[in-house]
Amino acid sequence: MIRRREFITLIGGAAVTWPVAARAQQTMPRVAVIMVHRDTDRLGQGRLQAFVAAFENLGWRTGHNVQIDVRWAAGSAERMRQIAAEFVALKPDVIVASGTPAVDALKRARSSIPVVFAGVQEPVEQGFIASMAHPGGNITGFTLGDFPIVGKSIDLLKAMEPGLKRVGLMYNPETYGFYDAYLARFQAEARWPMELVRLAVRVPSDIDVAIKKFSTQPNGGVAVLVDAFNTINQATIREALERHPMPHVVPWRLFVESGGLMSYGPDVDAVFAQSAGYVDRILKGTSPADLPAQDPTKYEFVINLKAAKALGLVVPSTLVAIADEVIE
């Protein structure tokens, strides 16, 4: 196994290519990895480490029997598309891609290179695969859950603050435009006796502006949606919510450990670890078309009691009972 310090040294650059000597071995399989994060991002480092560790457990050793190329997109949709084009030209044996723009670019390239996505939402709705059970092409992988996870987040927010009348859904419409259609569906269903508001954020400076504007009316709460842009800008989101306090729920446990109120979402490290299994099977001859796409099997719900107290909220015992962790 790679020790953590050695691992971070290896993956710390914006672009990582494993040993030159390995490249000389023409028969050595080549795996390309597109990460949506910054190379210094703790979450991104952890997810890549989860992939590499699982891959090594299957018998693959970087520089010995496989070559791995890693590129970091730093949350930029344009950078994801550039990396995708670079990897198509490189012609690796398998591409592991996180981030909708990267998978979209790989799909549009009409390449036959097998693609395993790690953490992409609604792959059928977005046209990446024919169905979850039968992907039908060269793309398959592991999602971050289907859109009803957003409904669950809203339910948790309402349970935390029964007086809630407005929920702002934060996402970047330039990279996750399919949320627009789902928001319209939610509003049409009228499942919740409250107003659902689209909080569009395209650049970091939009975050404080959107939260500040939304906070000017009472009885509101924010649901930060799974989105590469939001993931990269967690600190900015947390700072904005500290300046304009409101009940909120986010997808990331780390956010709550750092002082946020609630998180609900999949274990993304596990998603990346699972993707290593599909890469292994593809390198051994299985077609991506024969590997069903899968939703997460593990979700985590975390509450921070100190944050709740600061917001003047009394955490219901029902929420405490179902939480995976309650931070005192």
Is 37 in the same domain as 170?
A: no
Is 169 in the same domain as 190?
A: yes
Query: Mean per-residue pLDDT for 12-34?
Result: 60
**Is the Cα dihedral 55, 61, 62, 64 positive or negative?**
negative
Query: Mean per-residue pLDDT for 32-60?
Result: 93
Is 10 in the same domain as 92?
A: yes
Residues 6+ apart with CB under 8 A from 50: 269, 270, 272, 273
What are the Cα distances from residue 218, in Å, to 133, 248, 270? 45, 14, 38
Beta strands 139-142 and 94-97 are: unpaired
How much is the pTM? 0.82
d(C-alpha 222, C-alpha 104), whole Å: 28
CB 244 within 8 A of CB 212: yes
What percentage of the chain carries pLDDT values higher than 90?
A: 64
222 class by beta-carbon count within 10 Å (0-12 exposed, 13-18 middle, 19+ buried): buried
From 173, 196, 172, select the one nearest 185 (Cα to Cα): 196
Is 320 in the same domain as 195?
A: yes
Is 128 in the same domain as 189?
A: no
Is 40 in the same domain as 130?
A: yes
Residue 190: the pLDDT is 58
Residues 6+ apart with CB under 8 A from 31: 55, 66, 67, 68, 69, 92, 93, 94, 95, 96, 279, 283
What are the Cα distances from residue 42, in Å, to 9, 216, 218, 231, 232? 13, 33, 35, 11, 10
**Residue 120 belongs to domain spanning:** 4-145+267-290
Q: Residue 279's domain is classified under what CATH number?
A: 3.40.50.2300
Is 213 in the same domain as 108?
A: no
3-state secondary structure of 41: coil
Query: Mean per-residue pLDDT for 138-146?
Result: 89
Report the number of distinct structural domains present in the chain. 2
Residue 191: the pLDDT is 64
Residue 25: the pLDDT is 44
User: Could you report the per-residue pLDDT of 95-131, keeping only the tens digit for each?
Assistant: 999 888 889 999 999 899 999 999 888 899 889 999 9
* For residue 218, pLDDT beyond 80: yes
Is 23 in the same domain as 126?
A: yes
Residue 95: the pLDDT is 98
d(C-alpha 171, C-alpha 232), whole Å: 12
Is 286 in the same domain as 306?
A: no
What percentage of the chain carries pLDDT values higher than 70?
A: 89
Per the prediction, the chain carries an average pLDDT of 88
- Residue 141 host element (H or E): strand 139-142
3-state secondary structure of 307: helix
Residue 23: the pLDDT is 42
* For residue 3, pLDDT beyond 60: no
Is 65 in the same domain as 115?
A: yes
* For residue 13, pLDDT beyond 80: no
The answer to which of 30-44, 186-200, 211-225, 267-281 has the lowest mean pLDDT is 186-200
CB 131 within 8 A of CB 295: no
From 151, 200, 155, 148, select the one nearest 175 (Cα to Cα): 200
Is 121 in the same domain as 200?
A: no
pLDDT range class, residue 21, cuts 50, 70, 90: very low
Is 82 in the same domain as 46?
A: yes
Query: Mean per-residue pLDDT for 255-277?
Result: 94
Residue 6: the pLDDT is 43
